[in-house]
Amino acid sequence: MSNWTDYLASHGARFHIDEATQAEDFGRTLTADELAAGFVAPVTDLGLIAVAGEDAAGFLHNQLTNDVEHLGTGDARLAGYCTPKGRLQATFLYWRDAEAVYLQLPRAIQAPLQKRLSMFVLRAKAKLRDATGEEAFAAVLGIGGAKGEAALRAQVGELPAAPYGKTSGEHGTVIRLADAFGAPRYLWITSAATAQAAFPALTGELALGGNAAWQLAAIHAGVPQVTQATQEQFVPQMINLELLGGVNFKKGCYPGQEIVARSQYLGKLKRRTALATVENAAARAGDEVFATADPDQPCGMVVNAAPNGQGGADLLVEMKLAALDEDVRHGSAAGPALRFQPMPYQVDAALDALDL
């Protein structure tokens, strides 16, 4: 374990090993109400690829679904990396500084994605490295809820004013993400020493969660993450990535660009991602869901899932829009029912009009 995870363990933060990533998951399962009140979550299952060199932005601009060349140092964005058939191999949160462009993604898929991207560098002056364990990025804290903003401001001072804004300084990097539960949600990336110094004050004000709590907050923000279980399952629009600013339809070509553009402009989208709850805490990304009206064919797939602290799990579910007003079940047509909840942003008329 790193010094940061050693610190967490020595200070009584409960944890278990996530077998998929071999990452320690600290903290306890939190409910949506606890997240809404205010939480801090050490995030240990995300990795970081740094792409440095004078051609780094241009190289990534030609690989990802979003604009990298015009990204300012005070901003962060979402993006996808697709196969030539337009299917997502990964989704990223990315930002840049004077030294590099940084791509954050699940640790479980980082190594093969980094290797694949490196294959296409060719003559570009760009070099990829695993920056996950570097001192400046050793600790990653997710913070949100009603009390989160004030608690974080007390540690770092200036905070980004709007979602996907970024501030950097001696305290590290703070990125404001899409809001959840009506409150800002932040990712604080810093050194182990800085995180250790701030941790007692943060946990004195906020509920302590871990990876699952951070994932639950992202689910309620409607922000998807492609994981090992869902690679190459979705085009970006199926998981609402373009609604979150993760696809730029005016930039140049990238792998799968023609398919993504065709999905956007030719015909009506028939699949989207919705927010749901199911009485099964073991629900996982990649699980299929079924409408009882058509029990032999899955109508969708779980994109992300996290235990909700009430015996079940909250989900982002990619599915046929036509099935949204039907009886939809997890795992099989005889499985537990999905209860759909409002999304935090406008999606499609069929989803917006759903009687929730």
**Confidence at 354, pLDDT banded by 50, 70, 90:** low
pLDDT exceeds cutoff 60 at 14 = no
Better-predicted residue by pLDDT, 19 or 178: 178
CATH class label, 1-267: alpha beta
CA dist., res. 118 & res. 163, Å (int): 30
Q: Where are the alpha helices (DSSP H) in the chain?
A: 3-10, 32-37, 56-61, 107-119, 148-156, 192-205, 211-220, 257-265, 349-352
Residue listed under structure tokens 């933060």: 13
CA dist., res. 222 & res. 130, Å (int): 28
CA dist., res. 302 & res. 285, Å (int): 5
Listed by start position, the domains of the chain span 1-267, 272-356
Q: In what order do the strands lie in the sheet with 288-291?
A: 328-330, 288-291, 298-307, 313-320, 271-278, 338-341
**Confidence at 12, pLDDT banded by 50, 70, 90:** low
Better-predicted residue by pLDDT, 182 or 12: 182
The neighbouring-strand residues paired with 338 are: 278
CA dist., res. 347 & res. 13, Å (int): 38
| Domain at 272-356, CATH from 2.40.30, 2.40.128, 2.40.160, 3.40.50 | 2.40.30
CA dist., res. 326 & res. 295, Å (int): 12
- Rounded mean pLDDT of the chain? 93
- What's the pLDDT at 269? 83
Mean pLDDT, range 316-325, rounded to an integer: 94
